Structure 1
Amino acid sequence: MSYRGESAEQPHAPLAYARTYRSVECTVVEVHGEVDIMGVLEVGPPLDEATGGTAPLVVIDLTPTTFLDCSGLALLARAHRRTGERGAALRLVCADPALLRTLHAGGVTDLLTPWPTVGAALRDAAARPRPAASGRTVRPR
């Protein structure tokens, strides 16, 4: 009910969200919107699910991301750690100059090389052998 001509408050879409696409060999997580301290609450669980899953490759696509702060940087570092612990590969997709500056300033580019497109990240992953959890090299199929 509205009071004095004010409209009833409409539910708002989250400022950040993630869409996940899966195959046997790869999981792609598109991160949308503003990934700040509040956005991490929406984006964190899907990223944790993807990085804790069984796919040998996880791609985090920041193409639809409009903002990233230190909370988002910590989330990416956690994704890197989680995939590494299970012997999976992680690729990061980002071509936005402002986001790339943030990634560089936060040290994320020391952990991950940003790729300009998902296609480029997937081609790179297919061309490189990945280490298995046992430490031996596994060639992608």
Structure 2
Amino acid sequence: MRYEPAPLTRHLRVRQDRGHTVLEFRGEIDIAAEAEIVPHLDMATAAPDARIVIDLTRVEFFDLSGLRLLYRARHRVTDGPGRLSLVCAHPMTLRMLRITGLSRLLPPWPTLDAALDQPESTSGPV
């Protein structure tokens, strides 16, 4: 079954770019946003060879619910030969990723272009 990107929702935009499914989180990523995003995240990460980029560029607020989404995506994609990249440049969100250790598991790229232009063998900045 082929995953078809979802239309723009309040907290999520899904699109294809350079062979990757880009999940652009938007606005406040809290428990309400998590409930909206999970079904789309699960569909996007269902293929064993999924190539996913989660873009946090348009996020204004990010709490534990957002971290759960990132861990969920990482778990679903790394169980197979898939690839998951993260785009994040917001200082407070980067701090949260470092404090929780998620930045070691899912190193963030500063821009979407940087994440999409990387060779298949890399999963984050060196």
TM-score by length of 1: 0.73
Tell me the residue number matched to 2:112: 118
Tell me the residue number matched to 2:86: 92
- How far the C-alpha of 1:107 sits from its partner, in A, is 2.0
Correspondence for 2:99 among 100, 105, 125? 105
Give the secondary-structure state (helix, strand or coil) at the position aligned to 1:38. helix
- Give the gaps of 5 or more residues in structure 1: 1-13, 131-141
> 1:27, 1:59 within 8 Å by CA — same for their partners in 2?
yes
Give the fraction of aligned pairs with identical amino acids, expressed as a percent. 42
* Alpha-carbon RMSD: 2.0
**Deviating runs (4+, > 4 A) in structure 1?**
none
> 1:24, 1:55 within 8 Å by CA — same for their partners in 2?
no
Q: Deviations over 1:34-64 (max 9, x none)?
A: 1112210112221111111365410000001
Map 1:1-141; keep pairs closer than 5 Å. 17-22=11-16, 25-53=19-47, 56-124=50-118, 127-129=119-121
- How far the C-alpha of 1:93 sits from its partner, in A, is 0.2
| Count of residues paired in the alignment | 114
Q: 1:69 to 1:56 in 2, by over 3 A?
A: same
